[in-house]
Structure 1
Amino acid sequence: MERFVDPLIITPEVHLLIDSALTSKFNGTESIAKYYAIFAAFVNLKFKTLEEWLDVQLVITKIMIFSNRTEPFIRKPPRNESVITTDSLGNLSTYIQNKIQFTEADIVVLLTGLNIASYNSATDEVKSEGILGYAYVGGACRSSKVGMVEDEANMFTGTHTFVHEVGHLLGMSHDGDGPTRQCNEQSRASYCDASHGYIMALRTT
């Protein structure tokens, strides 16, 4: 007789930050709230495709909207206002420290209307191809509980990347990879073929 095991249910509390570049594309705060309620539903549906023993359902607890005067964590290359550099993630981690509004959140994700890119100050090179999101592996519930994801207003283009980056924050490696030093238990990701295109496949994220 087949034995059914109750799934492990986890409900991470997520705090969303919307940068000024993305905020400017919406028609007010109410439209942002409605859009990200639907966005979260799409994200949770994607998490339903995980194995039956694991049930991940994110709970959006807060949405914080920024103007260009209140987002000191964002770094841009010189003479390039359309790009947010990957080192902004470290700045964001520092920014949320010791701020009471972030203490209860398990995960904090910045949604950005800018292009995420790496920047080499020595060569002045900006490289954005293939970077749609960025997060610390195993960062959830720690000081490194931050990620950032590109999105477009009312387009839901960031949903897959959001799931992928939250997966990293929850300790998931890329498909085909072994465990990371942050999460050193045996990783089952090494048994997944990246070419199958699952959530944690390394592609344009």
Structure 2
Amino acid sequence: MIADCSAVIMFSLYMINCNSANFVHPRLLESRNGNGDLVLNIRKDLTLYLEKSAVLADNFYLDSSTTAGTHRTVLKGREIEANLYHDKKHQSSLILTRSINGIEVRGILNHEFTITPALVSERSSNGTVPHNISAIEQMSRMNDDEEQRRQSGTSLENHAENQCNSKEKKRHFPCEFTVELWLLASSEYRAAFDTCDDFLTYLATAVNAVGLRFINMTNPMIRFQLNGVTIDYDDILTKVEVCSMHYVGKWRLSKKCICGIDAEDTLNKTRFFVNASNIDADLVYLLTSKNLVRNIKKNSITILQDVLGMAYIGGVCTSLKAGVGEDKPKTYSGVSTMAHEISHLLGSLHDGEGPLQHMRGHPGGARCPRSGGYLMGNWDNTRNEYRLSECTKEQMQYNFRCLALDCIELRKQANVTNDYYPGQILDPFKYCQALHPKTTDVSPEDIDDSYNKCIVHCCSSDYYEDDDYTACDAHRMLEAMSCGENKTCRGGVCGAHNWTDIYKTRRTF
């Protein structure tokens, strides 16, 4: 962890009540320290110490899937997550960017609030961009129907037994497990985002937040790397809708017609899709904004039960490595659900359940009551929801010792092995040429105050109505680009940044 800070984002802490919205105004200030972290000061009693996050594979895959086939695009993961940061203590996951209007902050501030630039055209009187702070919708997890849970888990538990008993137990295990993740998204989920960049940076921020739920996990430490995303444009995975007059909501049976996407059917289709696809990952998780339900048959009556997600227990690195879950796009409401279902895939039952009798030595979660409110228990708006219980950690450790080494070893190279930041490859002159390839005499303007703001002006000569003049375009400097003597840009801040230390500490965990 970096101890010092190179930049401070100060929030003017006056709160304006306008149509029930809370606004703050971020300002990016230079600090005296030079080690590269950012500090996000919200108010006197809340300061976020932001570290650079790395959750995307270097060669990041974006697949577009239809019934006619799949088209794959290879993207640079580093570019997508260039402005992604996290705070471990408060589990913040934020995208920080700089526009011509000022600093823009997007993402999760803490367990309760998100932050986004406000939809207003003008800046404040001090030149900052107003931001909106919104409450994260808290989705409560209902208790599972025990009979249905046992029925749906039978084949999966048998599979887990075969997986565990077929591996050598007495061998050396690494102290860290980088779980390679692949996300699937339904077409309506993708359509909620204006641009592909918005879509991908949101997913990176969400995965970053999921990883923070596992920060207290040891032996092994668990971190996540997102290898790719597939968009299901024909919605072949979420097509089966079921309707019934009987619906279980908050443990009460109500007679009203309700419809939803069959979660178990979606999970099975996701599993078959993954096994038939060119997807290289330890886990695959489908995101949908549609309402998921469990289709329960009792006495020839169809009863629908709300579920937030579903996954196979211990499915990591097997043919059952699939999970599905709800998330309302742009809200991060499904982050805890994703973390919960991934915990199932990594081998954990719910708190209060188990152990699995047919698996010798399985610790189960019986000694940790669900009322504890941890990630695998009942969610009751407690801070424990964002942590793993001791039982969950023990079950993941048990399952980890059953995994083959080709699962544990990192197959797709992560960003942390890259040697350079963009600004160390392109100087301002080459940068201007790359941005204006059709302009023959383009060059950066001489160093002035704009460099201290990490802005470079690319200028060229022009001619209009018998007059010669110079035309310039302003551009944000790249990370690590020189902005003065012994100074470089980091997160829009010109300072004496220590890039050697930054390389060593840029992992999420």
Q: Same fold (TM over 0.5)?
A: yes
8 Å CA contact 2:184, 2:229 repeated in 1: yes
Write 1 or 2 for the structure with the bigger share of strand.
Answer: 2
8 Å CA contact 1:82, 1:114 repeated in 2: no
8 Å CA contact 2:242, 2:259 repeated in 1: no
Alignment gaps of 5+ in structure 1: 1-5
Change (3 A) 1:123 1:97: same
Query: Which residue pairs with 2:260 in the alignment?
Result: 83
Give the Cα–Cα distance (whole angstroms) in 1 for the partners of residues 302 and 366 of structure 2.
36
Alignment gaps of 5+ in structure 2: 1-172, 245-256, 381-509
Q: More displaced, 167-176 or 20-29?
A: 20-29
In the TM superposition, residue 168 of structure 1 has moved relative to its aligned partner by: 0.3
Query: Which residue pairs with 1:16 in the alignment?
Result: 183
Give the Cα–Cα distance (whole angstroms) in 1 for the partners of residues 210 and 349 of structure 2.
18
Query: Which residue pairs with 1:35 in the alignment?
Result: 202
In the TM superposition, residue 151 of structure 1 has moved relative to its aligned partner by: 0.4
Give the Cα–Cα distance (whole angstroms) in 2 for the partners of residues 164 and 132 of structure 1.
10
Give, as a single letter, the amino acid of the residue that structure 2 aligns with 1:73.
Answer: L
Residue 106 (str. 1) matches residue 282 (str. 2): yes
Q: TM-score, normalised by structure 1?
A: 0.83
Which has the larger Rg? 2
In the TM superposition, residue 183 of structure 1 has moved relative to its aligned partner by: 5.9
In the TM superposition, residue 138 of structure 1 has moved relative to its aligned partner by: 0.6
Give the Cα–Cα distance (whole angstroms) in 2 for the partners of residues 31 and 81 of structure 1.
32
The residue correspondences of 1:4-153 to structure 2 (distance < 5 A) are: 8-50=175-217, 52-67=218-233, 69=234, 71-74=235-238, 75-77=240-242, 83-86=260-263, 87-100=265-278, 102=279, 104-120=280-296, 122-128=300-306, 131-153=307-329
Change (3 A) 1:184 1:30: farther
Give the Cα–Cα distance (whole angstroms) in 1 for the partners of residues 281 and 177 of structure 2.
14
Deviations 1:40-93 (Å, cap 9, x if unpaired)?
A: 11111111133x4431111111011222x2x32222125999722122111111
Give, as a single letter, the amino acid of the residue that structure 2 aligns with 1:55.
Answer: M
Query: Which residue pairs with 2:362 in the alignment?
Result: 186
8 Å CA contact 2:242, 2:261 repeated in 1: yes
Which protein, 1 or 2, shows the higher relative CO under an 8 Å CA cutoff with sep ≥ 6? 1
8 Å CA contact 2:243, 2:260 repeated in 1: no
Give, as a single letter, the amino acid of the residue that structure 1 aligns with 2:267.
Answer: L
Residue 197 (str. 1) matches residue 363 (str. 2): no
Deviations 1:133-154 (Å, cap 9, x if unpaired)?
A: 1000011111110000100111
Q: TM-score, normalised by structure 2?
A: 0.35
Q: Number of paired residues?
A: 193
Give, as a single letter, the amino acid of the residue that structure 1 aligns with 2:177.
Answer: I
Partner SS state of residue 301, structure 2 = coil
In the TM superposition, residue 11 of structure 1 has moved relative to its aligned partner by: 0.8
In the TM superposition, residue 184 of structure 1 has moved relative to its aligned partner by: 5.3
Q: More displaced, 164-173 or 15-24?
A: 15-24
